[in-house]
Amino acid sequence: MKEAVIVVDMLEEFVNGRLGNERTRSILPALRRFLASARQAGKPVVYVGDAHLPSDPEMAIWGPHAMKGSPQAETVEELQPQPEDYVLEKRTYSAFYETGLDLLLRSLGVDTVVITGLHTNICDRHTAADAFARGYRIVVPEDCVNAFTEEEHRSGLEYLKAIYGARITTSDELAQEWAQVTSHAST
């Protein structure tokens, strides 16, 4: 099994901006620690965030948000990509839709995506749908995703589990598993 960690929409807009709230800020410490563990274990980390154009379909639903080139489309300071990470832009909910993510993951030999970021029931869900359709296994550390409300977060997780067979776990559990494999490999 080769995993990659996908970081969805951890942008200024959704954390500190008009569409941000305490719930989205609450996952920052766990996600920051988790990304460090992933890098240490040699797992690719791929950021995929909104970079919208004014003509994008989502404008009708959410209004202008995370517009390409604007400060609101920047990854939050706490989670800045490192030199070995990958950074892709998206223009709709799914991290796979016309972003080159599938080609990147296949080039890296990835067969399992660990989905983190925002929001459990929107972009994480659409990303999971496209991952499922392309044959990837899906893992979701529940403390590294969130939604606008607790109900949306919980029902979002249930949906990922029921419809895409996602393994719902925690960032600590995954980090521990990876640390064990890494230490076995080096002995």
Residue 50 or 124: which CB sits closer to Zn ion?
Answer: 50
- Give the contacts of 58 (CB within 8 A, at least 6 positions apart): 52, 65, 91, 92, 93
Beta carbon nearer to Zn ion, 43 or 65: 65
What is d(CA 154, CA 21) in angstroms, rounded to the nearest whole number? Answer: 17
| CB closer to Zn ion, 130 vs 143 | 130
Query: What is the rounded CA–CA span in Å between residue 104 and residue 60?
Result: 30
The footprint of Zn ion (CB under 5 A) covers 50, 58
* Nearest distance, CB of residue 64 and Zn ion, angstroms: 10
Least distance from Zn ion to the Cβ atom of residue 116, Å: 17
Helix, strand or coil, per DSSP, at residue 46: strand
Closest-by-Cβ residue to Zn ion is 50
Q: Least distance to Zn ion from the beta carbon of 149, Å?
A: 18
Whole-number minimum distance, CB 58 to Zn ion, in Å?
Answer: 5
Nearest one of 186, 184, 181 to 38, comparing CA atoms? 181
Tokens of 141: 């550390």
Pick between residue 50 and residue 85 the one whose CB is nearest to Zn ion. Answer: 50
**Phi, psi (degrees; rounded to nearest 5) at 94:** -80, 135
